[in-house]
Amino acid sequence: MPLFYSARHASALGEIAFAVDAHGALAALVFTDRDALATQLGPDAQIVADPARCAAALAELDAYFAGELRSFRTPVAPVVGTPFQRRVWAGLAKIPYGETWSYARLATETGSVARAVGSANGANPISIVVPCHRVIGADGSLTGYAGGLERKRALLLLEGSLLA
């Protein structure tokens, strides 16, 4: 099944690439370009340029970065991930805008252990929309983020869950 992408999109935090399925559900979202997107989706992914299919997701991302959107309506449909990873990603989706959870809390919510959810969190293919940036260390420290800790800090500042 083909996935569709738009040209690289400049966001407040750098270039973003994302892919949607035939129904407009997000399959992947990464900070960088189409090549990184292809890597995220795996070697068998068929990615076709189609900006029109991506318009709704793009509009929501722009509204989010403008501080006008707190909850994404675009559905997600990751094409990668084990059942355990998908369970953790579903747990991430429950973290409200403007809040952070520790890895321990996410582990409790998903019936696992912190180290395992940390690994699954790091493999999240749909950054921002599936808010892995909202997971922090038990001591409140910013830890691991595939997009880089400065982006994580910026996302948390945007959402008001981190003071400058």
The one catalytic residue among 132, 146, 154, 158: 132
Work out whether the CA dihedral 52, 53, 54, 57 comes out positive or negative: positive
Look at residue 33 and tell me whether its pLDDT is greater than 70. Answer: no
Q: What is the pLDDT of residue 38?
A: 75
* Residue 41 belongs to some domain of the structure: yes
Q: What is the pLDDT of residue 161?
A: 92
Look at residue 116 and tell me whether its pLDDT is greater than 90. Answer: yes
Quote the domain boundaries for residue 30. Answer: 3-65
Q: Is 54 a catalytic residue?
A: no
Q: Residues 26-53: what's their mean pLDDT?
A: 82
Work out whether the CA dihedral 137, 141, 146, 147 comes out positive or negative: positive
* Residue 137 belongs to some domain of the structure: yes
100 and 54 assigned to the same domain: no
* Residue 12 belongs to some domain of the structure: yes
Q: What is the pLDDT of residue 59?
A: 93
In degrees rounded to 5, what are phi and psi of residue 82? -80, 165
pLDDT band at 63 (very low <50, low <70, confident <90, very high): very high
Counting the structural domains of the chain, the total is 2
96 and 134 assigned to the same domain: yes
